[in-house]
Amino acid sequence: MSNYHIKHLEEYYQVYRKSVNNPESFWEEIAEEHFLWRKKWNQVLKWDFDTPEITWFEGAKLNITENCIDRHLATRGDKTAIIFEPNNPDESAEHITYRQLYERVNKFANVLRDQGIKKGDRVCIYLPMIPELAISVLACARIGAIHSVVFAGFSANALATRINDSSCKIVITSDGSFRGAKTIDLKSIVDEALTDCPSVDSVLVAKRIQTDVNMKDGRDYWLQPLLDAASEEGKAEVMDAEDPLFILYTSGSTGKPKGMVHTTGGYMVYTAYTFKNVFQYREEDVYWCTADIGWITGHSYIVYGPLCNGATTVMFEGVPSYPDFGRFWEVVAKHNVNQFYTAPTAIRALAKEGVELVEKHDLSSLKVLGTVGEPINEEAWHWYDDNVGKRKAPIVDTWWQTETGGIMITPIAFATPTKPTYATLPFIGIQPALLDENGTEIQGNQVDGRLCIKFPWPSIARTIWGNHQRYKDTYFSAYKNMYFTGDGALRDEVGYYRITGRVDDVIIVSGHNLGTAPIEDTINEHPAVAESAIVGFPHDIKGNALYGYVTLKETGESRNHDNLRTEINQLITEQIGPIAKLDKIQFTDGLPKTRSGKIMRRILRKIASNDMSNLGDTSTLLNPEVVEAIMDNAL
Ligand code: PRX
């Protein structure tokens, strides 16, 4: 039996037992038999959740791009590695073979080398979903530079914060991006960000929307001429298994975004292994994950996991609604997609448009459907199952996080019987635990608690860039010897897990993590605002939307509330990005606070959710009278 490819439920249980009884020998065998190493490791695993310090395959040498590209050249040189599907359906799709990918990554790597980028340097990539994004990610990995991809929907301010946090030396961007019927001038956002980024020496600019942009002499270079002049051959840098591969920022409940650091060897092994099994990818399949490479889903399951398996992976530049809400299904039919992986928020938005747009397209190629990013509600699950998968394609509801690098709790397609809204069973090697508020592990089934992981897995983030203490405090201090996920979960009678949502002050809106504190800080910067509190409330399409309670410095009718609402959302768009805009803003004379001055978000959450029947105990409040007023004026 091959432990690399699991096909049945009994096999899953058997391999799972092996992986938790003897994790080191289990992962050693997987790593040894299915990947290309320049030198083997001295030790498979060292870990201490207290320090915390975790290493996998210590002492091993490799380059992840040799695993993603070079090793396929002999047998898959002419196979399509990446299908690029442009925003505009009238523009032809591009098929990039493994050999072409090899050449293009080498050229890009040589351009970076010529710019003076060396192993360990940080490279910020701020690009739309065009081939240069995947290629620049791989080019960084080829030369050992640490990529930090920033989603191209973030504002100049958010971009600058991320560039400065990890002192990036170079920014890779484009003149602009297409998004449905709109274009966005990315280069001018970069220019604005760079007024305050002293570490950046140069900017490489890809041409996409053919617009005039400002090019700063001695700093900005058009990418294409440099690529044209570069050699398509080049050696891959030999990396240590524990050398950082990338930094990816994720929101915390407080403070600035956390630069999660992923390293090379363990991340490669785990993302490749999960990809193969969760989606049951077979050699001739075409796989499509609709995420953006700016998020972890794109890193692990558009780029590294699929390419490591020699897969054909689709990169889609557009949006689900352009030119109409049938675009996803048109692309599935056009490229004969076999595995399709998207977010519940997209499913809900498409379901709202009716089944006619689905039925117009031939979806018979689909074998496996996936979802990720937030809990999927039962209605959306069934809509996906009935109309897209025609009840023949299993839905893999994959739970994981930026911090976990790869999928953690999930069905294995065709092996694990699915259950609507359940992420089902831990993946191979993953040891979940549910804890109560006192930190005691809850045994048995039909229970719920805080979701923790008891044992390291190969792709766990190793630190937060520049702030190991925060890494320790956020993930390893809540419960002793446990990685704390920040999520709540329940375990049903057969041991299936259902993720119930965040238990901290992170709110997931349309699958994007948003911390409340950074948004509140932004609102409080408005000169008229005294104080604010943000909570989530259920939203039909986004899963959650944001509700802001805002108190003003001067009360009364002196300011137009509608104007203020617009200004507040404008400020949020500038400082963070449009994804963090508030759906509702209620102006109030006060916020409910405990005697120690803490805002009682529990009450605000209930009011925002229109669930005011049982607000719980309000007697401990410093100012119980404001609750009445807030309820009376709730939006
Ligand atoms: O709350 C969980 C939710 O998304 C969080 C992680 O967000 P992020 O780091 O942006 O990564 C998203 C893509 C992996 C988790 O803590 N989440 C993710 N997947 C699911 C989910 N909630 C429920 N079900 C899921 N399948």
- Ligand 1 lined by 274 (C-beta under 6 Å): no
With the most atoms of ligand 1 within 8 angstroms of its CB, the residue from 487, 490, 497, 514 to mutate is 487
Q: Residue 373 C-alpha to ligand 1 middle, in angstroms?
A: 4
pLDDT value of residue 556 = 61
Beta carbons within 10 angstroms of residue 202's beta carbon: 17
| CA nearest to 493, candidates 573, 396, 590, 419 | 419
Query: Domain of 555: which CATH number?
Result: 3.30.300.30
Write the Ramachandran bin of 439: left for phi over 0, alpha for psi from -120 to 50, otherwise beta: left
Residue 274 DSSP symbol: H
**CA-proximal residue: ligand 1, atom 15 (nearest):** 401
Pocket of ligand 1 contains residue 402 by CB under 6 Å: yes
The protein residue with its alpha carbon nearest to ligand 1, atom 7, reads 401
CB proximity list for 90: less than 8 A, separation 6 or greater? none
Q: Tell the residue nearest (CA) to atom 24 of ligand 1.
A: 375
Confidence (pLDDT) at 456? 98
CB 135 within 8 A of CB 159: no
Give yes or no for residue 400 CB within 6 A of ligand 1. Answer: yes
Cβ of 485 less than 6 Å from ligand 1: yes
Q: Please tell me whether residue 87 adopts helix, strand or coil conformation.
A: coil
Residue 326 within a domain: no
Contact 269 CB / ligand 1 (< 6 Å): no
Torsion-angle region of residue 558: left (phi > 0), alpha (psi -120 to 50) or beta? alpha
| Domain boundary, last residue among 232, 260, 283 | 232
Please indicate whether residue 483, judged by its CB atom, sits closer than 6 Å to ligand 1: no
* Any domain includes 11: no
**Four-point Cα dihedral 412, 413, 414, 416, nearest 10:** 40
* CB of 373 closer than 6 angstroms to any ligand 1 atom: yes
For ligand 1, the distance from its centroid to the CA atom of residue 487, given in whole angstroms, is: 9
Q: Which atom of ligand 1 is nearest to the CA of 291?
A: 13
Task: Specify the CATH number for the domain of residue 205.
Answer: 3.40.50.980
Residue 312 lies in a domain: no
Mean pLDDT by 10 residues, the chain (635 residues): 87 98 98 97 98 98 98 98 98 98 98 98 98 98 98 95 98 98 97 97 98 97 98 97 98 86 98 98 98 98 98 98 97 98 96 95 98 95 98 98 98 98 98 95 96 98 98 96 97 96 91 90 92 94 96 75 94 93 94 84 91 79 87 90
> Is the CB of residue 502 below 6 angstroms from any atom belonging to ligand 1?
yes
Spatial distance between the Cα atoms of 92 and 515, rounded to a whole number of angstroms: 39
Residue 559 within any structural domain of the chain: yes
CA of residue 489 to ligand 1 center, whole Å: 12
Domain boundary among 232, 259, 293: 232
303 alpha carbon – ligand 1 mean position (Å): 19
Per the structure, the count of domains in the chain is 2
Residue 544 belongs to domain spanning: 506-632
Question: 535 lies in a domain?
Answer: yes
Q: Give nearest CA residue, ligand 1 atom 23.
A: 375
DSSP-assigned letter for residue 578: G
Query: CB 8: neighbour CB atoms within 10 A?
Result: 12
| 315 inside domain | no
Whose Cα sits closest to atom 2 in ligand 1? 374
Looking from the CA of residue 376, the nearest atom of ligand 1 is 24
CA distance 83 to 313: 6
Cβ atoms of 365 and 336 closer than 8 Å: yes
Asked whether 136 and 145 are in contact (CB, 8 A), the reply is no
114 CA → ligand 1 middle, Å: 39
CA distances (Å), 604 to each of 199, 395, 587, 590, 619, in order? 42, 35, 13, 12, 15
**Of 630, 516, 503, nearest to 572 (Cα)?**
516
Which atom of ligand 1 is least distant from the CA of 486? 16
The closest residue, in CA terms, to atom 25 on ligand 1 is: 399
Helix, strand or coil, per DSSP, at residue 623 = coil
Question: How far, in Å, from the CA of 404 to the mean position of ligand 1?
Answer: 10
Between the CA of 566 and the centroid of ligand 1 the distance, in Å, is: 30
Domain end (from 205, 232, 259): 232
Q: CB of 312 closer than 6 A to ligand 1?
A: no
* Pocket probe mutation, ligand 1, options 300, 421, 513, 542, max atoms within 8 Å of Cβ: 513
The distance of Cα 142 from the centroid of its chain, to the nearest Å, equals 22
| Residue 545 lies inside a defined structural domain of this protein | yes
pLDDT of residue 614: 80
Query: For ligand 1, is residue 508 a contact (CB within 6 Å)?
Result: yes
Predicted confidence (pLDDT) per residue in 116-146, tens digit:
999 999 999 999 999 999 999 999 999 999 9
Pocket test for ligand 1, best of 377, 421, 499 (most atoms within 8 A of CB): 499
> How far, in Å, is the centroid of ligand 1 from the Cα of 630?
31
Q: Say if 228 falls within a structural domain.
A: yes
